[in-house]
A = this chain, B = another copy of it.
Amino acid sequence: MNRPNIVVLGAGYGGMITTTRLQKMLGANEANITLVNKHNYHYQTTWLHENAAGTLHQDRTRIKISDVVDTNRVNFVQDTVVSIQPEEKKVKLEDGELDYDYLVIGLGFEAETFGISGLKEHAFSITNINNSRLIREHIDYTFAQYNNQKDEHKEDLNIVVGGAGFTGIEFVGEMANRIPELCEEYDVPRDKVRLINVEAAPTVLPGFDEALVEYAMNLLEGKGVEFKTGTMLKEVREDSILVEKDEQQEVIPTNTVVWAAGVRGNSIVEESGFETMRGRVKVTEDLRVSGYDDVFIVGDCALIINEETDRPYPPTAQIAIQEAVQTAKNLQTLVRGGDKLEGFVPNLQGTVASLGEGKAIGVILDGKKLFGWTASVMKKVIDNRYLLKLGGIGLLLKKGKFNIFTK
């Protein structure tokens, strides 16, 4: 019995789909499959902004790994990856070490701080269950604090979101819906609260269709969101930020800065000796690392150039899932002695951004634009399809989003 060891690092979209596919596609005698993850749960990264805003509980967003991974077939190791040693074909964990014959790196993104002073120390980011839940509790806490201060502390009620990309806008959308509830819970007048979005680019959702952007901005401004586009975040301090627009500087009091303006690949990948750009590896056509035929990368750490635009594909759930499906196929081929791997071809299905409370905007496959409720239904359809793909009808029923009229 010389079964190869397949080790999958990370139970995000890429790692989970790779693992669940492999457990179906390979017989127990064909390979040992090991999945390594820090927590005993997988989570939907694209829902975290709702957990952070407090509009959706984190238990809706996360899925117990053992609910979808067959732990009789897959060796699940709950541990933290410390380093990858591709020359020795080893992965170092906090509490151990693993040898692999094939490695699938599905380690997710990290926030990119662009060296902005104080950002690392004082800003929050929406990257996992723990820090999203912390944002929710932090905002609750600052609102609770407001009426306990002798003098008015405006920083308690000013929420600043850095970045008007997808996560930034989606979080702002949820937050705008959450604020009236917070005001009621903590006896805070609504007009004292500010929700400010700071974006360096001249418009929100840069690159998105103009009509959709306008729809989103109108909707969100109608709910009291202040957009500061063309504005650079220069510094984050303990209870304020410094921004700059057209060489004019402004200080905004705040102790809640949520940074959603940039992501990068994982620092573990960067430190593993692979050639990286901001933590991402420019992978081969079949998603392997050049020079390391036994190492695949799926998800946020894989850099693939879109030849049409000559720019990298964005690190989305959609692409991570497709990469994982392809990687599982190619691993099957390799384990069975084949050597002709299939190249990966992204199949872009469109993009939908949620704006909170049954509203969204999107562009689908054929370039058609979706607004408002229609787009929000489409968003739920996408999310539900993923659940079905990951864990079948059981998981869909347990964690799906079915109320198409609201959340």
Contacts and interface: CB of A to CB of B under 8 A. Distances in A.
A27 to B, nearest CB: 35
Contact of A134 (B130, B131, B133, B148): B148
Interface string A127-140: 00011011011101
The main secondary structure of chain A at its interface with chain B is helix
A215 interface: no
Contact of A137 (B39, B131, B140, B187): B140
A302 B348 CA distance: 75
A293 to B, nearest CB: 35
Contact of A186 (B133, B143, B147, B187): B133
A267 to B, nearest CB: 14
A130 B146 CA distance: 9
A338 to B, nearest CB: 42
Contacts of A187: 39, 130
A145 B133 CA distance: 9
Interface in A138-181: 138, 140-141, 143-145, 147-148
Contacts of A138: 141, 144
A186 B186 CA distance: 22
Contacts of A137: 137, 140-141, 143-145
B141 A145 contact: no
A37 to B, nearest CB: 14
Contacts of A143: 137
Nearest to A131: B148
Contacts of A130: 144, 147-148, 187
Nearest to A57: B185
Contacts of A141: 134, 137-138, 140-141
A138 B143 CA distance: 11
A44 to B, nearest CB: 17
A334 to B, nearest CB: 37
A361 to B, nearest CB: 31
Contacts of A186: 133
A144 B134 contact: yes
A136 to B, nearest CB: 8
Contacts of A39: 187
A192 to B, nearest CB: 15
Interface string A223-244: 0000000000000000000000
A144 B133 contact: yes
A353 to B, nearest CB: 27
Contacts of A134: 141, 144-145, 148
A59 to B, nearest CB: 9
A130 B144 CA distance: 7
Contact of A140 (B131, B140, B145, B148): B140
Given A134-B141, A134-B148, A140-B140, 15 more contacts: A39-B187, A130-B144, A130-B147, A130-B148, A131-B148, A133-B144, A133-B186, A134-B144, A134-B145, A136-B144, A137-B137, A137-B143, A137-B144, A140-B141, A141-B141
19 contacts: A39-B187, A130-B144, A130-B147, A130-B148, A130-B187, A131-B148, A134-B141, A134-B144, A134-B145, A134-B148, A136-B144, A137-B137, A137-B141, A137-B143, A137-B144, A137-B145, A138-B144, A140-B140, A141-B141
